[in-house]
């Protein structure tokens, strides 16, 4: 069963973790859908770092450091549009059945996530904006290997970088558009496709029937949670 995301809890977590940044600043809730009034264009660059951890039991994916950047444009009063990049050296491995007596271990060592997000402002204070943010993009996984283990032994076959779709939803805070510099906090739940995993080369396996077997199926989706802290610089 896939992990479920509770948006209300994510919003509450953002409010609680931001308490030190507010330092007594009063917060008011706002309706983001009532604030679609166009405003002069603003732009800010955010550099952040944190951690990425795998969710669920489908993958062996330990917690690893993550870093990235976010370019955010303010077009509407309570809506920001962002272009995001995230990188982590997180190994991921899952085992899928191949044919009777032989399993495939699908493994990658690092990932780059590129996505766009729409940040809806649901609360704000004199110095801070709080947002909930759905995002959509793609993930590229590197240093991939297909490791086959069977009764007759095992081995591995390297694969080129893989690409798959990625969806995420998150919440956090960033400084108000009037501020030139400020801290940012973000927690984000990611779901991504498994990508394409072709069979190991038949000449490596020395199994005559390998080319006639159907494609690898039932490769699970990847679920992860990312926590980041950053600094935002106003560009415009």
> What would the pLDDT profile of 160-171 be if each residue is shown by its tens digit?
888 899 999 999
Is 96 within the bounds of a domain?
no
In terms of Cα–Cα distance, which of 74, 6, 84 is closest to 35?
74
Residue ranges making up the domain that contains 14: 7-89+114-135+165-206+230-234
Check residues 216 and 42 and name the one with the higher pLDDT. 42
- 110, pLDDT greater than 70: yes
Structure tokens at 28: 């008011």
8 A C-beta contact, residue 187 and residue 227: yes
Per the structure, the count of domains in the chain is 1
179 phi, psi to nearest 5 deg: -85, 140
8 A C-beta contact, residue 133 and residue 117: yes
In this prediction the pTM is: 0.81
Is 141 within the bounds of a domain?
no
Is 43 within the bounds of a domain?
yes
8 A C-beta contact, residue 88 and residue 116: no
Is 126 within the bounds of a domain?
yes
Is 77 within the bounds of a domain?
yes
What pairs with residue 191 in β-bridges?
167, 223
Give the pLDDT band (50/70/90) at residue 5: very low
Is 154 within the bounds of a domain?
no
């Amino acid at each position: 069963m896939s992990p479920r995301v509770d948006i209300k809890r994510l919003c509450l977590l953002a409010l609680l973790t931001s308490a030190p940044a507010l330092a007594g600043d009063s917060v008011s809730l706002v309706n983001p859908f009532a604030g679609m009034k166009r405003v002069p264009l603003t732009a800010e660059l955010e550099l952040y770092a944190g951690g990425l951890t795998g969710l669920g039991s489908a993958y062996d994916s330990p917690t690893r450091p993550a870093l990235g950047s976010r370019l955010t444009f303010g077009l509407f009063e309570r809506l920001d549009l962002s272009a995001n990049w995230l990188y982590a050296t997180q190994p991921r491995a899952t085992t899928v059945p191949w044919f009777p007596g032989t399993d495939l271990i699908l493994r990658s060592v690092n990932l780059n996530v590129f996505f766009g997000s729409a940040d809806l402002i649901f609360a704000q204070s004199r110095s801070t904006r709080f947002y909930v943010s759905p995002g959509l993009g793609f993930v590229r996984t590197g240093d991939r290997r297909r490791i086959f283990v069977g009764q007759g032994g095992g081995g591995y076959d390297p694969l080129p970088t893989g690409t798959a779709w990625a969806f995420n939803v998150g919440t956090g805070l960033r400084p108000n558009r009037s501020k030139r510099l400020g801290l940012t906090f973000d927690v984000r739940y990611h779901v991504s496709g498994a990508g394409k995993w072709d069979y190991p080369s038949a000449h490596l396996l020395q199994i005559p029937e390998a080319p006639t077997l159907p494609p690898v199926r039932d490769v699970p989706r990847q679920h992860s949670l990312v926590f980041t802290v950053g600094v935002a610089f106003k560009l415009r």
